[in-house]
Amino acid sequence: MITIDAKNTRFDSLNETIRNSNDDVEIVNCLGQRFIGAGLSNKSLTIKGTPGNALGAYLNGANIEIYGNVQDAVGDTMNDGEIIVHGSIGDAAGYAMRGGKIFVKGNAGYRAGIHMKAYKEKIPVLVIGGTTGSFLGEYQAGGIIIVLGIDSKKNIVGNFPCTGMHGGKMLLRSTCDKISFPKNVNTRAATKEDLDEVITYIKEFCKCFGYNESEILNEKWTLVSPDSNNPYKQMYVQN
Amino acid sequence: MYKEGEVRIPSGCAISAVISRYGNKMTGEKIIESMIPMHDRSNGLGGGFAAYGIYPDHKDEYALHIFFNDKYRIEECERILKDNFEITKAEIIPTRKIPEITDEPIIMRYFVLPFASLLKSLQLDEKEFVVRVVMKINTEVNGAYVFSSGKNMGAFKAGGFPEDVGKYYKLDEYEGYAWTAHGRYPTNTPGWWGGAHPFGLLDYTIVHNGDISSYDANRRFIEMFGYKCTLQTDTEVITYIADYLVRRQGLSFEETASVIAAPFWKTIKNKPEKEREKLKYLRMVFPSLLITGPFSIILGFNGGLMALNDRLKLRSMVVGEKDDKVFIASEEAAIRTMDINAENIYSPMGGEPVIIKVKEGKY
């Protein structure tokens, strides 16, 4: 593994060094450099600091682990690989993500999982340990979003979740009593079978961040899925 | 060159701020540095800073910062100034000549006090009087533009990247208890010195990332109250809205936020009764001041800052703190540049104002 001190380094030269390395890469003193690991397929990156926007955009199989917070648009249109964040993430995480997994210990900003999609075996997964901002899963077309709300006193998601959602599913570790969902989705208490379908992702999350799996599972969960009878009714356009 | 209305430039921006809750002074060095990791959010067509508490020797006078296209405009403008103000000091704002900043206008600073006799005969309070003179110069003197007009504060802006603009104006030599900064990526109007942020009127300044879609509705309303939108840029109208609501209508900053980033009716419906009635009232009285479209703004004023996102939160904004300081920026990296150990980093919700005031008596 090579170590790069990113202090005072521009994003383009940093990314070029990463691309040209035949080895795994550790970045220290990372501060705001954007597009890190864009399109990367065959490496592991470890980042210490605060990477810039669009971390792991178009990621194509590489693994990225970040010790710090992550800014906006992490995993934009990512295709494959894993992003593990030991902190919180900004807005629009996993934008149009089409494969791979993102695990976040902390909270997510607005529009997490916006327009995630899936096709056959390509099923993207986004797991948030804390809570999320408004518009979670906006226009979600596929894939799985899991929100755990660990140690949180706030609502597990902000306002207007699932606006325009028409595919995929969401599992929220809460009864969601105080949350109003739009008419284009159905919500119900999740069963053991529902949780069994995503258990591998919950296990992986617990392994990443050192949580006890049975404590995480042992809560009331809500399953959200699109109402296929009314697929496109949404807040911006009534049709 | 083409100015507003003659050209439309399609296209982002960077904002950053720091304030000491105890009024401790900081030089401009850190706020300039904070713009470096966000360099690529700007395109070199405008950068600027607002600094509060920088003129303690003239703290009771209005500090007018004025751009002049050429020296002939100075005479014309000074005639208006002398008719209305006692000028205690007039000087060229000191700058560093650097290759990154070119095409500079003449940049002057005047410390002024309105004539008491004029205030009396016009029956105007001091601030309203100053606003009227600023509007007069900006609309009637072609080639002169007042870009800062508050007490014990100042805006500094230019064409260029913000970190170069800071260096150009020697902001490392000023000391203030609060700073805001902006890097511009002009979206609709050409980048020229007057169009750079912050926009200021009296001590209210705005730095803004976004592109509001309600500009014309807002402009038509605010121009009924004597404000003149000379630059066709959305940030200018936000500045006037802030002045109108806070100074003229006497709204609190929280209430001002509830007007310009009013919650959806659906959200209001679910609020407790007292809050619901108030939000309803504000939306119904000031419907034309609702600002729609993406924005994150930082409003500076004497003694504090307010940060606000549009209600849909279509632009990013992060807040952090360390000891007496509070930081606000488009990106966490900017905050960590100012203090690597900044704590309690969070993103406010859309429409949720973050208001930080300096302890009374400390500024």
Mean pLDDT of A94-104: 97
Fold of A88-228: Pectate Lyase C-like (2.160.20)
Q: Is B121 within 8 Å of B150 (Cβ atoms)? A: no
Distance from CA of A115 to the nearest CA of B (A): 16
Percent of chain A with pLDDT over 90: 92
The closest alpha carbon to B149, from B161, B158, B136, B160, belongs to B136
Residue A230 binned pLDDT confidence (cut-offs 50, 70, 90): low
CB atoms within 10 A of CB A152: 15
List B4, B13, B31, B295, catalytic entry:
B13
A71 touches chain B (CB under 8 A): yes
How does pLDDT run across B253-309, given as a tens digit for each residue?
999 999 999 999 989 998 999 999 999 999 999 999 999 999 999 999 999 999 999
B348: its two tokens = 């406010």
Distance from CA of A231 to the nearest CA of B (A): 21
> How is chain A split into domains, by residue range?
88-228
Left, alpha or beta for A45 (phi > 0: left; psi -120 to 50: alpha)?
beta
ipTM given for this complex: 0.91
Q: Is B46 within 8 Å of B73 (Cβ atoms)? A: no
Mean pLDDT of A166-175: 96
Interface contact A31-B336, CB threshold 8 A: yes
pLDDT of residue A190: 97
**Rounded distance between C-alpha atoms, residue B182 and residue B173, angstroms:** 19
Q: Confirm whether pTM is higher than 0.90.
A: yes
Interface contact A52-B331, CB threshold 8 A: yes
Mean pLDDT of B226-239: 86
A contacts of B209 (beta carbons < 8 Å): none
- Give the one of A31, A72, A90 whose C-beta lies nearest to B337's C-beta: A31
**Rounded distance between C-alpha atoms, residue A187 and residue A170, angstroms:** 9
Tell the burial category of B352 from Cβ atoms under 10 Å away from its Cβ (0-12, 13-18, 19+): middle
Give me chain A's average pLDDT, please.
94
Domains and CATH numbers, chain B: 11-54+152-357 (3.60.20.10)
How does pLDDT run across A178-218, given as a tens digit for each residue?
999 999 899 999 999 999 999 999 999 999 999 999 999 99
- DSSP string of B110-158, one letter each residue: EEEEE-HHHHHHHT--HHHHHHHHHHHHHHHSTTEEEEE--BSEEEEEE
Q: Is B324 within 8 Å of B278 (Cβ atoms)? A: no
A34 touches chain B (CB under 8 A): yes
H/E stretch holding B268 reads: helix B265-269
Mean pLDDT of A55-72: 97
Rounded alpha-carbon distances, angstroms, from residue B32 to A146, B165, B284, B293, B322? 40, 9, 41, 28, 18
Distance from CA of A125 to the nearest CA of B (A): 23
Indicate if B13 belongs to the active site.
yes
Residue A233 binned pLDDT confidence (cut-offs 50, 70, 90): low
H/E stretch holding A203 reads: helix A199-209
Q: Is A206 within 8 Å of A216 (Cβ atoms)? A: yes
A contacts of B270 (beta carbons < 8 Å): 180
Residue A74 binned pLDDT confidence (cut-offs 50, 70, 90): very high
Return the ∠ at Cα B60 (arms to B56 and B61), rounded to 5°. Answer: 100
